[in-house]
């Protein structure tokens, strides 16, 4: 059964990943928080960084949507990605990784709730139906 995981922050979603990556995400986010603490970065500083990065990615996503409106067109999709990569300074895979990891960290630190505006939704498709798990993942 095909399964994807979608991450939401303030009701926004920029991409989906394979649900096969959930276990790796859980391990990495715990290490990320612990490494930050070892480096002298307080939990509050980490939270502020996660929120700052998510807000920046979300703003770039909507800016690119305003500039390139036709989401269904492959050329438009590529222009939006190029815009985000150019403005953020990271490749799109890194931007998507930051999006998922930062949302997961904020959930783990209980800064946001896994609800209809923030968190993870798992989509499973068995060929006919799509099943939703609103509280999937971390």
| Rounded percentage of the chain residues whose pLDDT exceeds 70 | 84
- Dump the DSSP string for 76-133: HHHHHHHHHHHHHSS-HHHHHHHHHHHHHHHHHTTSS-SSSSSEEEEEEE-SS-EEEE
Instruction: Assess whether pLDDT exceeds 70 at residue 70.
Output: no
Strand partners, 18: 4
Give the pTM.
0.84
Confidence at residue 122, expressed as pLDDT on a 0 to 100 scale: 78
């Amino acid at each position: 059964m095909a399964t994807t995981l979608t991450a939401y922050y303030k009701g926004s979603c920029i991409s989906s990943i394979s649900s096969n990556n959930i276990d790796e995400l859980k391990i990495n986010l715990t290490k990320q928080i612990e490494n930050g603490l070892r480096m002298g970065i307080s939990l509050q500083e980490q939270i502020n960084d996660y929120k700052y990065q998510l807000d920046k990615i979300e703003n770039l996503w909507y800016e690119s949507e305003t500039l390139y409106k036709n989401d269904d067109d492959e050329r438009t999709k590529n222009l939006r990605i190029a815009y985000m990569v150019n403005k953020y300074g990271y490749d799109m895979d890194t931007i998507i990784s930051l999006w998922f990891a930062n949302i997961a960290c904020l959930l783990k630190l209980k800064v946001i709730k896994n609800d209809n505006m923030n968190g993870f939704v798992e989509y499973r498709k068995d060929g006919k139906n799509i099943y939703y798990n609103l509280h999937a993942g971390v």
